């Protein structure tokens, strides 16, 4: 057994790309990953193997003897893995892997796909927003419902709908008396950082504890709904956009069919090779409310009218 057989195939592929290009930047571009990530992977391999794979400081990049040995082994291992994968593919139905970030509901499209293509399994894969792009570029999913923006280099994306921003506050907060607020109304509030959507659960806990407020997409607020909190539309801050994305170089027939399902195309459409059923286009999510908010006074001065006593 090769002493390199314990190295996972993905890292071998990345190493082989550099070893054949003898150029880190070109190899990283071909792999659709950052140069920094590729360099870090090579350093990890050298540490694991206890030897240098590339001549330190050499310009242009050069392989060491150990690097040439690993390249020979890597080619054999990669070819063997691909042959095994091909054999497995011949005996099992192809599966379409579709990722989705928090807040995206995919059950309708899953139901339509299952009815229309019962012989092609659909594997729905939850991914964090931080992992949405790596999951696509590294082949962990074939397509993904992403929250824009993403790097469009080598990537196709179909915008689907936009999400209203809402502010999440405790139920007894003054903002709870209104359906809409402006950023000026939040000037004196402590805004929790929600740049990373995947840490929203912890942020929501802080809001519930009275430690500030948080602005998140509407679907995320619904996902983390709880009785002691409310959310109200923010009228003058940027909304977010959900899109269906996939690597341009991996536009397969199944990918095209799933695009048709999401866009509501029938299978007998001229753009779909095999359709049978016409499906309506997906509806956009409802907003958090459209009641005009009072103008002029700051929110602290706008009291909710007291209810009259019944006579």
* 3-state secondary structure at position 297: coil
**Rounded CA gap, 67 and 309, in Å?**
85
Q: Which residues are CB-neighbours of 4 under 8 A, at least 6 positions away?
A: 12, 49, 70, 73, 74, 77
pLDDT of the residue at 290: 45
pLDDT of the residue at 96: 95
Our CA dihedral for 134, 139, 140, 141, rounded to 10 degrees, sits at 100
pLDDT of the residue at 77: 86
**Rounded CA gap, 23 and 20, in Å?**
8
- 253 close to 200: Cβ distance less than 8 angstroms: no
* Domains of the chain, start order: 9-91 (1.10.10.10), 94-304 (3.40.190.290)
pLDDT of the residue at 2: 56
Kindly report the number of other CB atoms within 10 A of residue 257's CB atom.
Answer: 21
What is the mean pLDDT for each group of 10 consecutive residues in the chain (311 residues)?
68 91 90 86 90 92 93 88 64 82 94 93 92 93 96 94 94 92 93 73 89 92 91 92 95 94 77 48 47 45 44 40
């Amino acid at each position: 057994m090769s002493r390199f057989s314990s190295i996972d195939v993905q890292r071998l592929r990345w190493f082989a790309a550099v070893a054949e290009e003898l150029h880190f930047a070109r190899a990283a571009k071909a792999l659709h990953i950052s140069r920094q990530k590729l360099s870090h992977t090579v350093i990890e391999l050298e540490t694991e193997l206890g030897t240098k794979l590339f001549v330190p400081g050499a310009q242009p990049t050069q392989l060491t003897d150990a690097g040439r040995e690993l390249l020979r082994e890597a080619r054999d291992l990669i070819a063997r893995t691909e042959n095994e994968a091909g054999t497995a593919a011949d005996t099992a139905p192809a599966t379409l892997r579709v990722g989705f970030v928090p807040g995206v509901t995919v059950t309708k499209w899953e139901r339509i796909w299952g009815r229309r293509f019962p012989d092609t399994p659909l594997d729905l894969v939850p991914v964090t927003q931080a992992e949405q792009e790596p999951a696509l570029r590294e082949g962990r999913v074939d397509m993904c419902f992403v929250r824009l923006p993403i790097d469009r280099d080598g990537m196709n994306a179909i915008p689907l709908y936009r999400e209203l921003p809402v502010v999440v506050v405790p139920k007894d907060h003054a903002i709870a008396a209104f359906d809409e607020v402006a950023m000026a109304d939040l000037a004196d509030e402590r805004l929790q950082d929600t740049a990373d959507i995947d840490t929203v659960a912890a942020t929501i806990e802080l809001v519930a504890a009275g430690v500030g407020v948080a602005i998140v997409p509407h679907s995320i607020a619904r996902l983390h709904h709880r009785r002691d909190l409310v959310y109200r539309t923010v009228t003058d801050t940027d909304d977010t956009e959900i899109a269906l994305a996939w690597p341009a170089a991996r536009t397969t027939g199944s990918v095209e069919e799933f695009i048709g399902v999401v866009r509501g195309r029938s299978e007998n459409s001229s753009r779909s090779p095999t359709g049978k059923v016409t499906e309506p286009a997906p509806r956009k999510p409802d907003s958090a409310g459209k009641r005009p908010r009072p103008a002029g006074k700051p929110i602290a001065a706008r009291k909710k009218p007291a209810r009259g006593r019944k006579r």
